[in-house]
Amino acid sequence: MPARTLLKKLKEALGEHIGEAWVPRPHRAFFTVEPEELHDVVEALVKRFDIRHLSTITGVDTGEEIELLYHFWDYDVCFTVKIKLPRDEPRIKTLTDIVPGALFYEREVHDLLGVEFEGHPDLSPLVLPEGWEEGHPLLKDWSQPEED
């Protein structure tokens, strides 16, 4: 199903939950949701539309906020759900109860951007070495510690 058609169905079903939406290419769709709506929207993607493959979660520190992009695949269409979190306290409810595969992606985002995933079963370091105490390396204000 083309991205426009599937996005139209999503908007019909989830209307008030979906903010800005756009389709830059036939097999690619983006839409924004408020952080407090993400869990319900993803639950609908999985239960109502059988879109359950979370490819990855990417994130960026814009300097003003933390943007997270959740990339879902439905056969030949990639849906990216975008949220913005406050930079000073980036928190969001975990998706691991709906999409178990989010476990490692959330751990990686926690390591690199410092996002707290509330209810996550294990936020131990994934990509940073054990004992890392020098902040989150993808934040704009992070600087590499001086070597002794």
Instruction: Give me Rg for the CA atoms of the chain.
Output: 16
Question: What is the pTM assigned to this prediction?
Answer: 0.93
Residue-level pLDDT at 47? 93
* Tens-place pLDDT, residues 50-76: 998 999 999 999 999 999 999 999 888
Domain count, the chain: 1
Residue-level pLDDT at 29? 94
> Is position 126 within any domain?
no
Q: 108 near 124, Cβ under 8 Å?
A: no
> Is position 28 within any domain?
yes
> Is position 134 within any domain?
no
**Distance of alpha carbon 33 from alpha carbon 69, whole angstroms:** 11
pLDDT less than 50: residues of the chain: none
> Is position 83 within any domain?
yes
> Is position 124 within any domain?
no
Residue-level pLDDT at 115? 98
Residue-level pLDDT at 148? 60
Give the CATH number for residue 15.
3.30.460.80
> Is position 57 within any domain?
yes
Pick from 27, 38, 85, 28: nearest CA to 59: 85
- Containing structural domain, residue 113: 3-118
